[in-house]
Amino acid sequence: HVQLVESGGGSAQAGGSLKLTCQASGFSYSVYCMAWFRQAPGKSREGIAALHAEGDIRYSDSVKGRFTFSEDAAKRTLFLQMDSLKPEDTATYYCAAVGLCYDDPLPLGVDGYLYWGQGTQVTVS
């Protein structure tokens, strides 16, 4: 079965950087979308970056220019490089995936994804 495992969360000061990693296993689609979401306490889950197997990437306005989404497709590993962090970036971060993804634009809504990781906490002070 499909498993997504995030790592790399922690604490950072405003203006600093963190890099999250998501390791996928059991996910064998050649056409897919993968994404990063975050959820702050008392708020709904927000899609912040999505990636298609063919290389297209979409960012939310809240992280565009500060966060970089990349993948090592051969290793089924996703990365989220987070720079210029702000206190409002504090949240639990989740990776998500779905196969046979043909959406245009790439989905940033929770309904667009079938598989989810357990989340990793990021705190910016």
pLDDT at 62 over 90: yes
Task: Give the pLDDT confidence score for residue 121 in this predicted structure.
Answer: 98
DSSP 8-state secondary structure symbol assigned to residue 15: T
Q: How many residues does the chain have?
A: 125
Q: Taking Cα atoms as reference points, which of 46, 5, 39, 3 lies closest to residue 22?
A: 5
In this prediction, residue 73 has a pLDDT band, given cuts at 50, 70 and 90, of: confident
Average pLDDT of the segment spanning 54-78: 95
Cα separation, 20 vs 26, whole angstroms: 20
What is the arithmetic mean of pLDDT over 27-32?
91
Mean pLDDT value of segment 50-74: 96
Q: Taking a C-beta distance cutoff of 8 angstroms, is the pair 46, 62 a contact? A: yes
